[in-house]
Amino acid sequence: MKTDVKVPAVGESITEATIGSWNKKSGEFVKRNDVLLLLETDKASVEVVAENEGVITIQAEAGQTVKIGATVATIDSDAKATATAPAAGASKAATPAPSTGPAPAPVAPSQPPPTVSAAPSAPSGGNTPFSPAVQKIVTERNIDTSGMVGTGKDGRLTKGDLLSTPAKPAKPAAPAAEPMFAKSSGPTVQGEKKIVPMTTIRKRIAQRLVESQQSTATLTTFNEIDMTRINEIRAKYKDKFKEKYGISLGMMGLFTKASIEALKAMPAVNAYVVGDALEYHNYYNIGIAVSTERGLMVPVIKNADQMSVPQIELSIRDFAMKARDGKIGVDDLAGGTFSITNGGVFGSLLSTPILNTPQAAILGMHKTEDRAVVINGKVEVRPMMYVALSYDHRLIDGKEAVTFLVKIKEGIEDPERLLIEI
């Protein structure tokens, strides 16, 4: 009996996706829950798994853009396999759509275009696919996995299984995740120019940024925060915190808590503009900007006001790991009411963040630097951070924006305020 493999619904606003790579070949036998292909949407990557076992026949090639609900393959439970597992985890493809970002150098018709595989199949002798994280380690360390039995479910290899395996001399290999821009081959000559197509996600990021600038009345206000108390708390409790929770005590959890108290005081900063109306939210879903090789993503911590600082820090750590492994899902990115971005981790001293529409505001954190400031009439050297609030002036007035940043400043400089919520 034949069953169709269809492109699943991956979000309310998403109507199409691009086939990033196939993990199986036409004529190959697949098992239930095997990863068949990786879909690239304008927000995240999605793995499509087999719902039953049988022989797969592929009907849409890697690089092709397909509509949600379209049939891309069939699985025949009565047929016999005619192909073995692919060595590189991607089927031979026709000329891809421009959004997949092929190299600009001419490619012969018979040569498959460069594709990206986030979860290639196991080596010959096994039918269990690698996860993107495992495949990355295999590629980077050039590990021969033939004959290895993993400790994961169904004998899957885990990161722990591989990290103790000695690395071999590196050899050229495809990256484990699609880069922000497609790479071109061949040396670059001074004065030469290259045309490198955008990837699907990068095109969508560019589109959303332009839409944000064109559809909002964005202003940015600034303040600076004395980080002395926060640094003292982190230094005093960092060891006990890590011992109990297994993570470092960072600044994001505390800034998130301070932001929530500021949002409670200034509800307009937590609202949307919807047509000619204002939509206020009595909940606090905080987006945390995460930079990945594929571009900037903003996963959302749902109901962050009901979480402790350790729970927020653990959520941020989990999102960072999912982003690194290409596992951020559409649901992870939806529903945010306010966002925080920390350019300070890259050394940024000051910036004007762009709104993550339909949200009305975004907080920008920056690098902490020792600066001379006047304290009680005396010049002292203190660790200072500039903070920025970009906001939509259509619903947030200057007084509200400035007051919001002052509330953040008070919460960080006097952390006891966060405990008693004032």
The catalytic site residues sit at: 393, 397
Joined tokens for residue 7: 């492109």
List strand residue ranges (DSSP E) for 166-294, in order.
218-226, 272-274, 277-279, 286-288, 290-292
Cβ neighbours of residue 325 closer than 8 Å, sequence gap 6 or more: 131, 132, 133, 136
Cα separation, 142 vs 388, whole angstroms:
44
Terminal Cα distance for the chain, rounded: 65
Cβ neighbours of residue 119 closer than 8 Å, sequence gap 6 or more: 23, 35, 38, 47, 89, 129, 130, 131, 132, 135
What is the DSSP secondary-structure string of 44-66?
A: -EEEEE-SS-EEEEE-S-TT-EE
**Segment (H or E) for 135:** helix 132-141
Partner residues linked to 48 by β-bridges: 37
- What radius of gyration do the chain's Cα atoms show? 25
**Structural contact between residues 70 and 17, judged by C-beta atoms closer than 8 angstroms:** no
10: nearest Cα among 47, 37, 36: 47
Cα separation, 19 vs 136, whole angstroms:
20
Cα separation, 39 vs 20, whole angstroms:
5
411: nearest Cα among 227, 147, 179: 227
**Structural contact between residues 20 and 182, judged by C-beta atoms closer than 8 angstroms:** no
Angle at 113 between CA 97 and CA 291, to 5 degrees: 70
Angle at 216 between CA 211 and CA 220, to 5 degrees: 115
